[in-house]
Structures are given as structure tokens and as C-alpha cells.
Amino acid sequence: MTQDYRKWPEFDWLSGMIDWKKAEKITAGVDIGTTSAQAAILCDGQLFGCANIRTGVDFRKTADIVMERALGQSGMKTEDITEIVSTGWGHQNVAYARRSLDEIQCHAKGARYMYGPEVTTVVDLGGQTTKAIRLHSWDRVMDFMLNDKCATGMGRNIEILCDILQISIEEIGEKSLDVKMDPEPVSTTCFAFADTETIGQFRTDFRAEAMSPNEIYASHLFAVAWRILGTIGKLQPLDVGDITVYKELAFTGGLAKNPGITARIERELGVTALRSEYDPQLAGAIGAALLA
């Protein structure tokens, strides 16, 4: 009862290498999502500080806390930052931001910064929305797709499932990959259907061989990955007849940290996604800071 299976760890980080007082231009980006909120501070285009927290019930307070944690012990104040840009679903709640930009642009820009300039497809796997973005070779969005209504809440669904099944959210992905072969996915219509079906799979009476817990996780995460693939597949290709469009794919957002999802999307598309030293959840905030 006491363990909270759904909670992933929050963090903040401060660069010890940069003296912000000498920086010419300090910019910051704040990404307030439905489930998590991030802030990133850049000094002359270098990441100086960042924070990633869960979005609380008060979006304004969340915006204040995330910035406070990103500033940390650096001594920097919000007034010292030349330009602050907010983005994300709750962008209007960042009182200290001077302007707002849409998430698509910010994620595209942030992914290029984090994963290198060769990124052509960005897949943002957020708490409530899934976004697939195709980029021109210059930093320009060519096409983007948002999830359909019924595919809403994929990230949040994993949290809820982990809570019901009493398994840690950080382990479910790894465990789901520990199977010989992926079983049939559960319902791919919406997560309420999928959850009901996943619980039912623990039943053993009408199956010749009982499914192992790992197989059950696999069948659920495969269904989530399948729904995300539908969104990616609707993107416009780079060139007419180009079938290798998914090369240079980058995942951002919270579910990018779940190998049970990313490995399955990679397998179905036949590609290996790019890796980054940055936390994938920071893409929106870093992008906003770069565009400031």
C-alpha cells in the first residue's frame, strides 16, 4: 500500500562548468505538460540548469516551482534571464514568461539540439498527447501529426496500469522485453479497454498455457506502441517514393524512457532511434530556450 508504483523520479541539475555572470545571453524555456513540467536555462546556447517535476494540481505553482528548482543554488534569479519562453499544454500559466511558443516547434528544435542536426523525425511521447514531427534539413517543421482522440493519454495510461498491477513504472519496460516472442496485443482502441483486457489476461482458466507477467506487460505495451505507430505512419514522407523516412528518428517525452515502448516502435519501423546524453523529457523546454 505504501509504495507508489506510478511515480517516476523528479530531478534537477546544474552545470558546474559555466559561470553565468560572464554569459552574454541567458535564455530559459519552461514546458508545462499535463503530467510533467520542465524548465531549462541556457547560457550562450549551453545547458546551464534544468529541472523536471510532476505537474501538480495548481499549474501556476508548478511553473514557479520548476523554475526555482532549475535555478537551484546558482544564485541566478528570474530577472537575470534575458528571455523566458513558455510552451506546452499549460503554457499560459507561466506568469514570468514573456511569450509562448507551440510545442511542435519547441520539440523539433530541442530534439535537433539534443540528438544532433541529422534528426528528421521526432516522436514526442507525452502524458496525454503523442506528437510525430517531420523536419526539413534546416530547422523547419515540414509536417506533424497529433494523436487521434481515442489514443489520448498513453503516458498517463502506463502510470495507471503500473498502479493497478503494482509494478514499478521504471521496471515495466525492461520486464516486457524479457519474453521469447511478443504475444498478441490487447485492444488498441483506447486505454480503458486495454486496461480491462490486460487485467483479464491474468486469468488462467481458459488458456492452455498461462501467460507470464512479462508476457502480459509485453502485450499491453505492444498495444500502446501500435497506437503510437499509427500516428507516426500518417506523416508526410520527405520525398515522393521515399521509404526510408524513419531513419534518424528521435524519441522525446516521458515514454521515451520506457524501452518497452521505444524498442517495439524501432522494431516495427526497422530502425534504431538516436540516443542522447540529455534526458528526453527536456526536449520541449530546451527547444523553447533555444527559440527565445
Partner 1 sequence: MITAGIDVGLENIKVVILQDGKIIGRGIGRTGGAGRASAIESVMASALQEAKIEAGNVEKTIATGKGRYDAAIAGEQYTELVTAARAARFLHPDADAVVDAGADETLIASMEKDGRIRESTINQKCAAGIGTFLRNMADRLEMSLEELGALPPADPAGITVSDGCVVFGEMDALSCLNHGASPKEVAEAVIESAAIRACSVIKEPTLPIGDKILLVGGLAKNAAFVAALERQAGIRFIIPTDAEYAGALGAALTAIPLS
Tell me the CA distances in angstroms from 255 to 1, 123, 125, one per residue in order. Answer: 25, 10, 5
Which residue has cell 511553473? 63
Q: Which residues contact 279 (CB under 8 A, 6 or more apart)?
A: 11, 50, 52, 257
* Of 89 and 222, CB closest to partner 1: 89
Least distance in angstroms from the C-beta of 155 to partner 1: 12
* Of 35 and 276, CB closest to partner 1: 35
- As beta bridge partners, residue 121 has 134, 249
Residue among 259, 264, 171, 191 at smallest CA distance from 222:
264
Least distance in angstroms from the C-beta of 141 to partner 1: 24
Least distance in angstroms from the C-beta of 237 to partner 1: 30
Least distance in angstroms from the C-beta of 108 to partner 1: 23
Which residue has cell 486505454? 191
Asked if residue 287 lies in contact with residue 106, where contact means CB atoms within 8 angstroms, the answer is yes
Start-to-end CA distance of the chain, whole Å, equals 45
Least distance in angstroms from the C-beta of 59 to partner 1: 6
* Of 215 and 279, CB closest to partner 1: 215
* Of 151 and 265, CB closest to partner 1: 151
Which residue has cell 501538480? 56
* Of 159 and 248, CB closest to partner 1: 159
Which residues form the interface with partner 1 (CB under 8 A)? 1, 34, 56-59, 89-90, 92-93, 128, 149-150, 152-153, 156, 160, 163-167, 190-193, 195-196, 199-200, 202-205, 213, 216
